[in-house]
Amino acid sequence: MLLNGLGLKEILLRLPIIFIAITVHEYAHGYAALKMGDPTAKLSGRLSMNPLAHMDIVGALSMLIFGFGWAKPVPINPNNFKNHKKGTVIVSLAGPISNLFLAFLGSVLYGIFRRIGFGNFSSRFSEIFYGLLAQLILLNVCFGIFNLVPFPPLDGAKIVGAFLPYKTYFKIMQYERYAFPILIVLMYLGIFDKILGVLITPIVSSLNALIALIAGL
């Protein structure tokens, strides 16, 4: 059975990685907000490593099918930030950066395990193990870059908005309720695939080069 061209094996490999990517992403937002002076996420029980606390079903399915998606936003009150602009930028960046760091970490581990020959004793185990690492790298790059797109309600829009005049940002956010369905349509039509591919491909290529470098040491 296929899901948008994905085989059952790839779907099963993606599922645990989706839980990891979404959980780390939202936890990073909440932790950064706490450090910036806002305890809202902590007080609401969202400063948690429990995937179910952050799961958005539509966003998770999107990530499963398309390779990028979203989670249930962590509640944040920017009014509590010690520095509003700095806090907004750091908190918004924290999620995507955490995903890119996971992709980097996955690449380092992939290279190390290849170098020491881990999994060579069992081809079945090796296929599953390296398949999980490959999905860890790819999905976290996709998730991180996708959320940096300056399109509401993604993190990139909040980052750009922090540098806009308040009145301009307020006018833009008045149309946020229309942005989400438009985002879904753009993803369904594959338009985001072409746009994000320009950014994702060189990053994944660089991480593959890192794997080859470490494995060949």
In the block, tokens 């966003």 appear at 59
Give SS3 for 45: coil
Q: DSSP class of residue 150?
A: S
Alpha-helical regions (H) of 36-83: 40-43, 57-66
26 is catalytic: yes
How many whole angstroms separate alpha carbon 152 and alpha carbon 175? 9
Write the CB contacts of 191 (distance below 8 Å, at least 6 apart in sequence).
none
Distance (Å) of CA 69 to CA 50, 114, 149, 209, 211: 18, 30, 12, 26, 26
Write the CB contacts of 80 (distance below 8 Å, at least 6 apart in sequence).
36, 37, 38, 39, 40
Residue positions annotated with a catalytic role: 26
